[in-house]
Structure 1
Amino acid sequence: MSHKDTAFYRGNKLVSFDFSAEKISSDGSVLLLEKLERKHKLINYFSNIIPDMRDSSRITHSVSKLLKQRVYGIMLGYEDANDVKYLKNDPLLQDILEGDLASQPTISRFENTMDKHAIFKLCYAWVDQYVRTLKNRKSIIIDIDATDDPTHGNQQLSMFNGYYGQFMYNELFFHDGGTGQIILPVLRPGNSHSNKWYVSILKRILIKIKNAYPDIEITIRADSGFSGPSFYKLADFYNLEYTVGQASNEVLKREVLSVAQEVLREYVSKGIKHQQFISFEYQAQTWDKPQKCYSKIESTGKGLNVRHFISNIDEEDARSLYFNFYVKRGDTSENRIKEVKNMCYSDRLSNHAFWANFMRLILSSMAYEMFLLLKQAIKQTKYEEAKRWQVNTIRVALLKVGATIKKTKRRIYYRFSRAFPHQDLLRQLILQ
């Protein structure tokens, strides 16, 4: 053995290395992802929506294969198209994709072929896919929220947003507040206000839901950026229930002034935590009619905090409406957006073209939906700890497992590391 392969000495023992082991993949659980796709056919569904204008005689990688490569890659922690350089010799991915992986230029061309018409088709198909899951449901909650995506290049429609103080894109999400499903992801120019386009998009979503399930009850939950006259008109037309945040203004400050002064005097000045709710009729100048407004006046122990929200849900008192319903959007919407943005990399919109970046948002959202299906599968097992895992933990604890592959004429063997700590869970999930 050459001393060039010596790493170090441990006492009298020489520690050496070479590269003579079998081809080992660090992403062995791609087998689980393929099993999940074969069961639910989510990627296959969207691959049939995307128009393929290529010369069929020159195609090596189908749309379905390109989508699988990108979505599986995102799920396994590979953020960008050029990460294929780390995967091109992976024996398990080559087996699942039935051949060599598509190169970075091929993936980039695929993303950049998306124009406005293709993206609109995908958006309509996305809502249709969601509506098909509503069978036997009597009611749903639609959570609406937006998030900033800072940009660092010359992307189309990357614009300065005064509220966030940065050049960015604005991502808008409609989530199912019960299941966590993405009803629709939308990419908007960076200078968009939170409520840009959302009422017209929500109307299209409602039409599709009501056409399929006319009797389903729909409740809208959103923060103050989505309170406005067009929304309340839409809610009246479709007989929606809603709880929506309301930004403070001089009128609302006058409404809560006496209670706020009392809380300041009795609790804030003494550093005592205290919460008090009041309700009253409120109508902004642009609204057609008054709405019931609730205000939470709180001493946090360090200062005064006042929050307002509008709701037409009558059967609950203000405290339970706020804590048992409204604030739950922190988990069902805000935390789910964090999973899409930070854990499925929807913040990596680095193509030049706007529609290509919209496609990247859709790819990240598809990866999130696959993770959601995986979470549902985990809930059917007996592993209580795993049922609390978020996307990052699932990736590290479950998907990252060393494996090799062996092929014979009649069988393909996936051999996982015997040191893998979650063997029983992975076995159950693959055999479900």
Structure 2
Amino acid sequence: MNFNPRMKVNFDGGDLTSDAGLLLYKEFDHKLGLFEAVEDLLVVHDSVLHRDHPNSDVVLQKLYQHIAGYHTDDHADDLAVEPLLNALLGKERLASQPTLSRFNDKADMETVKSLEHVNETLQRRVYAIKPQNQFVFDMDSSGFAAYGKQHGANFNYHYQQHGFHPLFCFDGLTGDCLRSELRAGNVYTSRQVVRFVGPVLKRYETWSPNSLIVIRGDSGFAVPGLFELAETNSHKYAIRLKSNARLL
């Protein structure tokens, strides 16, 4: 190859990746400060001590794996030397499945709350860059199938499956997930919805006090407590009512 000294010959296949699209996510991460937010705010009291993989790195690795479609911890072993993921996370080798599983075991409610704070921090940064004066809080729940004897996993008649019944709040205009909460599989759709959405309302009232806020939900959220919460704070709401004889 003397005619072109830039050309090299080897037999190891090169550093190939099928996940190059993660570069765009990493650029977004860099601009928004996701890495720093996780590093500063993550709380794990019974910390997993590992020289090469601190807890914040484990959270970011799990996040990037999810984005790329590698949803189980077992995928980490196959991805250990994936060149792009290692480059994005500044590693020579990714954390293994046992390391990820140890983190899961040590995480508690304080860890969950700290991750919520990370999400709130990123939302605040986004709205600081691109202010909004209208918000639609879409309330919804979903059925997550579970296997084995997991705590809180129960049969849900509506979804006809054994698992969990998490609650969500999305920004209907942007699609951003504003808050989520894992719940047992057999609870009703609107269970503790006022306690759940109340802090979100207060946060947005502080961030953008003159904005129009609308709460939207299906008939599973037709509970007086939610109506009163919206009306007390002068917010609009559009929530479907279940058909019944008195209404008709």
Q: What is the TM-score with the length of structure 2 in the denominator?
A: 0.85
Superposition RMSD in Å = 2.1
Q: Give the counterpart letter for 2:61 in structure 1.
A: Q
Greater fraction strand: 1
Is 2:139 the counterpart of 1:144? yes
For this pair of structures, how many residues does the alignment match? 234
* Inter-CA distance 174–21: structure 2 relative to 1 (3 Å threshold): same
Identity %: 28
Q: Give the counterpart letter for 2:120 in structure 1.
A: V
Deviation at 1:231, TM superposition (A): 0.9
Match of 2:59 among 67, 78, 85: 67
Is 2:37 the counterpart of 1:45? yes
Give per-residue Cα distances to partners, 1:143-170, cap 9 Å, x unaligned.
1111111212111100122333321101
Equivalent residue of 1:168, what SS?
A: strand
* Inter-CA distance 52–158: structure 2 relative to 1 (3 Å threshold): closer
Deviation at 1:212, TM superposition (A): 2.9
Q: What is the TM-score with the length of structure 1 in the denominator?
A: 0.51
* Inter-CA distance 134–26: structure 2 relative to 1 (3 Å threshold): closer
Q: Is the Cα–Cα contact under 8 Å of residues 131 and 208 in structure 1 kept in the other structure?
A: no
Give per-residue Cα distances to partners, 1:184-205, cap 9 Å, x unaligned.
1211111111101111111111
Q: Distance in 2 between matches of 1:215 and 1:180?
A: 21
* Inter-CA distance 179–250: structure 2 relative to 1 (3 Å threshold): same
Q: Distance in 1 between matches of 2:236 and 2:165?
A: 26
Q: Distance in 2 between matches of 1:55 and 1:189?
A: 27
- Consecutive unaligned residues of structure 1, counting only runs of 5 or more, are 1-18, 256-432
Deviation at 1:103, TM superposition (A): 0.6
Q: Give the counterpart letter for 1:222 in structure 2.
A: G
Aligned ranges 1:153-192 → 2 under 5 Å: 153-192=148-187
Paired position in structure 2 for 1:102: 95
Q: Is the Cα–Cα contact under 8 Å of residues 148 and 168 in structure 1 kept in the other structure?
A: yes
- Consecutive unaligned residues of structure 2, counting only runs of 5 or more, are 1-10
Q: Distance in 2 between matches of 1:77 and 1:241?
A: 37
Deviation at 1:83, TM superposition (A): 0.4
Q: Give the counterpart letter for 1:80 in structure 2.
A: T
Give per-residue Cα distances to partners, 1:226-276, cap 9 Å, x unaligned.
011101111111011111111111223xx2xxxxxxxxxxxxxxxxxxxxx
Paired position in structure 2 for 1:134: 127
Aligned ranges 1:112-127 → 2 under 5 Å: 112-127=105-120
Q: Distance in 2 between matches of 1:37 and 1:212?
A: 22
* Structure with larger Rg: 1
Deviation at 1:55, TM superposition (A): 7.3
Greater fraction helix: 1
Is 2:19 the counterpart of 1:27? yes
Q: Is the Cα–Cα contact under 8 Å of residues 43 and 67 in structure 1 kept in the other structure?
A: no
State the 4+ residue runs in structure 1 displaced beyond 4 angstroms.
none
